[in-house]
């Protein structure tokens, strides 16, 4: 499945801070988001599946694919385009057995070694981060910067999506480094106007 990763929204339920997440996602898509990942570490499985189905309907109409964080079973059950896996989540080969060859599987990476391993295992893309310091997600991982993006792009044949601390101000540096897309959480979910924030990020990454 071909996906435009240029503006990738991680729709994290905790980062919506009680606001209407489906409405935020819809506004962000109007502003130019090209792919959405639904992430929740707290919702019961039944509620996560219901939320995924609720978000997916409008995304289907807009032609924007939905990915599910970690839960290959939820991705399969709701008909999502695929799943995104962390380093401690379900191993990629097992996720592929569940989802089949036609669905997308992305993997979070922080090092070149992790990225090469993900590509060898059959990942469709990698999410590299943090590229800049971020307070959205607690992590002790090293900040890789645009230089890390450039190193991965030189070594991999699959798309590289940058994540972590990305704003409209620093997005152009990631485009210059060769990133296939930028993934954000709070830059959109925490904005007063999700549509405007998405548009500004999309334009910044595109160099406009």
Q: Which residues have a catalytic role annotated?
A: 39, 108, 137
Element (DSSP H or E) covering residue 163: strand 160-163
Residues of 43-64 as b/e, b for ≥16 C-beta within 10 angstroms? beeeebbebbeebbeebeeeeb
Q: Which residue has the tokens 């919702």?
A: 43
Q: How far apart are CA 95 and CA 82, in angstroms?
A: 10
- Residue ranges in 9-144 assigned as alpha helix (H): 21-31, 45-62, 72-78, 92-99, 112-121
Residues 6+ away with beta carbon under 8 Å from 24: 11, 16, 188, 189, 194
- Residue ranges in the chain assigned as alpha helix (H): 21-31, 45-62, 72-78, 92-99, 112-121, 145-155, 171-177, 186-189, 194-205
- Hey, is 97 helix, strand or coil? helix
Q: How far apart are CA 82 and CA 129, in angstroms?
A: 20
């Amino acid at each position: 499945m071909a996906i435009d990763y240029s503006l990738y929204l991680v729709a994290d339920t905790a980062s919506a801070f009680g606001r209407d997440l489906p409405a935020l996602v819809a506004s962000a898509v109007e502003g130019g988001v090209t792919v959405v990942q639904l992430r929740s570490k707290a919702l019961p499985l039944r509620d996560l599946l219901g939320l995924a189905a609720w978000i997916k309907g409008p995304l289907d109409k807009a032609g924007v694919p939905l990915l599910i964080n970690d839960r290959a079973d939820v991705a399969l059950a709701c008909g999502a385009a695929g799943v995104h896996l962390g380093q401690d989540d379900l191993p990629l080969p097992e996720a592929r057995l569940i989802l089949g060859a036609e669905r997308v599987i992305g993997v979070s990476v922080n090092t070149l070694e992790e990225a090469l391993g993900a590509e060898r295992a059959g990942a469709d893309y990698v999410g590299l981060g943090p590229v800049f310091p971020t307070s959205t997600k607690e992590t002790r991982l090293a900040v890789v910067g645009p230089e890390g993006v450039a190193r991965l792009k030189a070594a991999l044949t699959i798309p590289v999506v940058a994540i972590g601390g990305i704003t409209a101000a620093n997005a152009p540096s990631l485009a210059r480094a060769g990133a296939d897309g930028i993934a954000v959480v709070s830059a959109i979910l925490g904005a007063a106007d999700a549509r405007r924030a998405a548009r500004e990020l999309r334009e910044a990454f595109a160099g406009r």
